[in-house]
């Protein structure tokens, strides 16, 4: 149980693995170097080259672990489908995964290791779209692409209640914005959502990370400025944690007490709880930001993905029972 009021969840306070301790020690050095090098300044060419090179280790490892993935271009949007190794026949359900990277960085390739692991643990195919990035494409480009990806899955015959939306960091915030936008537009909502260390509030002046975490105040502020563009940080689709959260599907949220977004994530969970949204919070002690993205290297990351996959399977089972009950009563 969480010690945060009104939040029902899971708390893991066991001693960190040596791998996690090594990451936590190394991360401040990496973040400081990036901040000094102005890696989040709008030097677009450098950002895109860096993103390509950082995608290679995860993509290569994922290809070895599970070669059943394919790159697609559908309706003008690139993306990567990753299939569980045991998956036969047509796709009946899916996870729509929105990668993190501060809205200016990352791709389906940089996150291929985590989408491969999520597909394996959940038994569901995962589609990771390459949504447009800032600074070339500020808000609302990423949200529009996420909406397009979701609606494309439905147009291809996957029912809304057979889709779970997921994302890490900025992708977790984008997942929440997607839920709000779908609700406001009157679209059928997905079965649930999984958010790893979501960055869902761009209005705050962020506190320094306790111990470690791949976020710093200056880096987050620069990333926010690039993404927001001419919009307002208080726009409910930019900072969905500050908007109307009624009538959203069940949400599984994971966060570490060692990262800058910890308090914001707990505040988000409390707001969801107050308006009647089912929310499960998995709190990790002394783990890096977006923990599942360190799979398969950190044992805790693998455990985090198993927890998320269990939630995904429950969402599918619940919606399937609800659909069967509704059909029987019709």
pLDDT computed for residue 209 by the predictor: 42
pLDDT computed for residue 43 by the predictor: 67
pLDDT computed for residue 38 by the predictor: 45
Catalytic residue among 169, 197, 239, 256: 169
- The domain locations on the chain are 8-329
Q: Which CATH architecture has domain 8-329?
A: 3-Layer(aba) Sandwich (3.40)
Rounded CA-CA distance 94/159 in Å is 9
pLDDT computed for residue 105 by the predictor: 85
* 8 Å CB contact between 170 and 136: no
- For residue 280, the cross-strand partners are 8, 252
Selection from 114, 69, 94, 108 nearest residue 155 by Cα: 94
* 8 Å CB contact between 4 and 266: yes
pLDDT computed for residue 59 by the predictor: 56
Burial 30-57 (b: 16+ CB within 10 A, else e): ebeebeeeebbeeeeeebeeebeebbee
Parallel/antiparallel/unpaired status of strands 69-74 and 77-82? antiparallel
Parallel/antiparallel/unpaired status of strands 8-12 and 279-284? parallel
Alpha carbon 13 to chain centroid distance?
A: 23
Confirm whether 169 is a catalytic residue.
yes
- For residue 165, the cross-strand partners are 96, 193
Cβ contacts of 76 within 8 Å, gap of 6 or more:
148
Q: Which residues of the chain have pLDDT under 70?
A: 1-16, 18-43, 47-68, 74-76, 86-89, 205-216
**DSSP readout, 274-288?**
HTT--EEEEEESS--
What digits encode the pLDDT tens for the residues 238-265? 999 999 999 999 999 999 988 888 889 9
């Amino acid at each position: 149980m969480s010690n945060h009021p009104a939040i029902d969840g899971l708390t893991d306070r066991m001693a960190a693995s040596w791998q996690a301790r090594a990451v936590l020690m190394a991360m401040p050095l990496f973040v400081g170097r990036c901040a000094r090098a102005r890696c989040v300044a709008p030097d677009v060419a450098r950002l895109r080259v860096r993103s390509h090179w950082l995608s290679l280790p995860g993509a290569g490892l994922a290809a070895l672990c599970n070669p059943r993935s394919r790159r697609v271009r559908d309706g003008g949007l690139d993306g990567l489908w990753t299939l569980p190794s045991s998956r036969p026949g047509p796709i009946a359900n899916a996870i729509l995964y929105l990668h993190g990277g501060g809205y200016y960085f990352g791709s389906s390739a940089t996150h291929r290791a985590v989408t491969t692991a999520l597909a394996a643990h959940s038994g569901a195919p995962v589609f990771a779209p390459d949504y447009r990035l800032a600074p070339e494409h500020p808000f609302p480009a990423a949200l529009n692409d996420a909406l397009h990806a979701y609606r494309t899955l439905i147009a291809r015959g996957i029912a809304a209640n057979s889709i779970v939306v997921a994302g890490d960091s900025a992708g977790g915030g984008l997942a929440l914005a997607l839920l709000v936008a779908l609700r406001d537009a009157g679209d059928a909502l997905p079965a649930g959502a999984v958010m790893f260390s979501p960055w869902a509030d761009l209005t705050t002046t962020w506190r320094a990370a306790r111990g470690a975490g791949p976020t710093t105040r200056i880096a987050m502020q620069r990333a926010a400025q690039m993404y927001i563009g001419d919009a307002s940080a208080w726009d409910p689709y930019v900072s969905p944690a500050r908007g109307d959260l009624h009538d959203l599907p069940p949400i599984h949220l994971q966060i570490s007490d060692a990262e800058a977004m910890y308090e914001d994530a707990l505040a988000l969970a409390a707001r969801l709880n107050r308006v009647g949204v089912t929310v499960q919070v998995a709190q990790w002690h002394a783990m890096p930001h977006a923990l599942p993205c360190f799979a398969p290297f950190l044992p805790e990351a693998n455990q985090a993905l198993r927890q998320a996959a269990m939630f995904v399977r429950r969402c599918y089972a619940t919606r399937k029972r609800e659909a069967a009950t509704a059909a029987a009563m019709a």
